[in-house]
Amino acid sequence: MEQQPSALAAPDTLLEREVAALIVSALNLETSADAIAPEEPLYGDGLGLDSIDILEVALVISKQFGIQMKADSEDNFQIFSSLRTLTAYIGEHRTK
């Protein structure tokens, strides 16, 4: 009997670190990539990003991973809610 893959895949921590480094670099943040907790909110009280920051991050991610992201997508708030959710989205949709 074959085992079914878990519905909740383990987080890709290598990709999380790569994405965190991209965020720090793209926004010239005065923090290290390792200081960004995977479950910490990217908006507001978490990392403190605003909508302009998110647009910049989306542009870098599009270039790096070949993902087409739309600024007006209703899913953006969920996609960018944390480093972990952003990384999961990239893992599912990347073309590079």
Assigned CATH class of 13-26+40-93: mainly alpha
Per-residue pLDDT, 56: 94
Residue spans per domain, the chain: 13-26+40-93
Q: How confident is the model at residue 2 (pLDDT cuts 50, 70, 90)?
A: very low
Strand partners, 82: 41
How far is it, in rounded angstroms, from Cα 18 to Cα 23? 9
pLDDT tens digits along 18-66: 999 999 999 999 999 999 999 999 988 889 999 899 999 999 999 999 9
Question: How far, CA to CA in Å, does 64 sit from each of 5, 26, 61, 77?
Answer: 28, 12, 5, 20
Give the sign of the dihedral formed by CA 59, CA 75, CA 88, CA 23: positive
76 close to 54: Cβ distance less than 8 angstroms: yes
How far is it, in rounded angstroms, from Cα 43 to Cα 87? 15
